[in-house]
Amino acid sequence: MEMKLEDMKTIMEKLEPVPQPEWDGISYPSFIPFREKGAEKAIQDIMGFKSRESDILLATHCKSGTHWIYEIMQMLLRNTTELEKGAKSNSMLEGISDLSSLDSIPSPRILDTHCSFKYLPKQHIEKKNKIVHIVRNPKDVCVSFYHHASKDKFTNFNGSWNDFFDLWMAGKLLYGAWYDYELEMEQAEKDFSGMIYTCYYEDMKQDPVKEIKKLADFLGVECSATHIEEVAKATSFKNMQEKKFDITQVFDGKGFIYRKGEIGDWKNYFTVAQNEKFDIQFNKKMKDSPGNVYDLYTGDSVLNVDNAQAQSLTQPIKEHFKSEIVNKWNSVGIVQVRLAIHKNGTEVAFFLFDGKESNKTDWFLKERLQNSSYTDLQNSTSNIPTNVFSIYGLQGFLNIYRSFYINSVWGGCASDAGWLMVYDTHNVAGCPWEGYYLSDKPAILYSPISTRVRFSQIDRANLICHSSCLKPIQLDAVTHCYKPCDTIIDVTSKIRQLREDLTINRKNTTSYRRTLQSVYEDRTSAKTMGLTGATFLVSVVCVFIYFDCVRFQTGRSNTKNDICKGQLIIFLKSSVD
């Protein structure tokens, strides 16, 4: 069954260029099965593939790190650190004419495909077999895809970078638009809880040992710390580039699967105009994706108002929740807003704002500050400078993205000081305390002492899940108000359980929205605002808005000026009677 380089060369010499096979509005590479059967029959064969319960499907969009994750998976499952001698294409469903030939592969089989979720083997889905999914910054995907398509004869692309960019924007590349693929996978994660494990290219590059351990846990593989470190070393880009067999040598004699593997290479290709066009399209396409709570909170949409599970606070919350009351802010007579930071169910800090004649974002201003638990920032007349004080925070300035941000000093990362910020996105090249210490996100960062602190002075932390109430929130359809819960409780879960039960569903394509700006600075930061599982409560007397953080960091302080992580709760006092 294994396809050798000599065999591929012979086949390629005989193949004539053909139009890209297309079915159901999606075009595909001109692989042999598509030439022989046509796109419709080839896809139907994939959907009808007979899956074993032990099968693991690697489902990814093109150029997202498929070959890399495939090697990691096979090392974990085979208990080896040797690179597989064959090519990943030997198990690529759309590249195999006779899928029954895969019967000879011993279990557990690793099968891979770039096909959309709706075209995956039905038996695999019905049996809820495991699926591994990797996501990469779409701008880097676009650039990597361009280089691949320029050399791969199965793609029939002979244009320039600008030509390829236009095809991306038009959604006319192979396998369809990246947005459609990732949104479909995101929905599948919600529909089939626990079946899909999503990992992130940038996270794997930044901390491979940690990410490989998480992947091993999902696969149910027990590995020693030493073995995981050896796997990380064996699957490093440099090692794979030097030693891994690259079937694409058949095209140019060198191969192009392992080209660069860099993060941020898109900056070498995107013009400012292209970057702006890309961002506009991304924001439009991904606006309904629930991963970015900042956009969810400030936008006009509501989410999960009829979903009891999303509103339940007695179990780990797997969905965001936003009620229509947030969008009716101006009609409920808000007179005062109290932003409280809770840790382990106890208030550790607060800010009190004048809410009169405010809207859902401009109440969060220094000019409205009436009181605070911080001695150096007790009201609007405090002398300590605040260069940023807003929910909007920094949305692109110097490529920094932090929301619900109260900052005092910028000092080249090391001296950044303030009181509060919300951060929930992987950061590729920002401050060390963002890219390393906050590798688990979302995170609500606050000063645990009575004054501001430097954000760089943090420790690694454990993950804690906080739930806020004993009883579910009930919506009053007449008043559109929420009855507050009777009791606030605290629920702690294990890191592994959180990662398996929550993070898979929470981390999604929108986590890249704040990394897509084209600002050529040495210092870049990622998206902020990851208040996962936002819960909004409103009563006639007062309004409670609970940002129930499903996943964030809560750590111990080794120094006085340690930055801590906690739960953000916003209380809104209404004049409505």
Bond before 108 cis per omega within 30 degrees: yes
148 is catalytic: no
3-state percent breakdown (helix, strand, coil) of the chain, nearest 5: 35, 20, 45
Secondary structure (DSSP) of 322-341: B-GGGGGGGGTTEEEEEEEE
Contact between 102 and 91 under an 8 Å Cβ cutoff? The reply is yes
User: How far separated are the first and last CA of the chain, in Å rounded?
Assistant: 75
Angle at 125 between CA 91 and CA 309, to 5 degrees: 140
Tell me the H-state helices in 463-572.
495-498, 504-506
Task: Collect all residues with Cβ–Cβ distance below 8 Å to 451 and sequence separation of at least 6.
Answer: 374, 375, 376
Q: Contact, 2 vs 86, CB < 8 A?
A: yes
The residue to which tokens 């940038």 are assigned: 202
Residue 454, helix vs strand vs coil: strand
Structure tokens that stand for 443 in this block: 């995170």
Q: What's the gap between Cα 59 and its chain centre? A: 16
Encoded tokens for 387: 């260069």
Q: How far apart are CA 400 and CA 525, in angstroms?
A: 4
The sign one gets for the Cα dihedral 174, 179, 184, 185 is positive
Number of other residues whose CB lies within 10 A of the CB of residue 114: 23
Q: Coil, helix or strand for 422?
A: strand
- CA atoms of 295 and 304, how far apart (whole Å): 15
Q: Which two tokens stand for residue 94?
A: 């759309």
Residue 138: asked if its preceding bond is cis (omega within 30°), the reply is no
User: Which stretch of DSSP H or E encloses residue 56?
Assistant: strand 56-59
Q: Which of 252, 397, 353, 264 is nearest to 570 (CA)?
A: 353
Cα distance between residue 205 and residue 199, in whole Å: 11
Phi, psi (rounded to 5 degrees) for 354: -75, 120
Task: Please tell me which residue in 67, 114, 124, 466 is annotated as part of the active site.
Answer: 114
- Which residue's structure tokens are 């050798």? 4
Q: Which residues are catalytic?
A: 114
